[in-house]
Amino acid sequence: MKELIEEELKRETLKWLERIEKVKFSGKSDFERNIRAYISDSRFFLEKGDLIKAFECVIWAWAWLEIGKEYGFLEVKDESV
């Protein structure tokens, strides 16, 4: 059971990481820097096998992206986001 949960968490993390890495965005430097840092941290934790932290980081990256987009701090060129 534990292995199934870990595999599901890893699969979801990779799915959202790969998706956000394809998004083209620009704007306020603090937002860009934080998004890229969370993406990098997610990859780092994934490589270390810390799936919970990896997933948390990719979720934070998406949160920063969505907030930046909604409040006009970022221009998101991929409208499927």
Distance CA 49, CA 15 (A): 16
Question: What's this model's pTM, rounded to 2 decimal places?
Answer: 0.89
Determine contact, residues 39/13, Cβ cutoff 8 Å: no
pLDDT one-digit tens code per residue, 6-31: 999 999 999 999 999 999 999 888 98
Mean pLDDT, to the nearest integer, of 26-50?
95
Distance CA 2, CA 13 (A): 16
Break the chain into its structural domains and give their ranges.
Answer: 2-76
Q: Which has more confidence, 22 or 79?
A: 22
CB atoms within 10 A of CB 30: 11
Per CATH, is 2-76 categorized as 1.20.1270.90?
A: yes
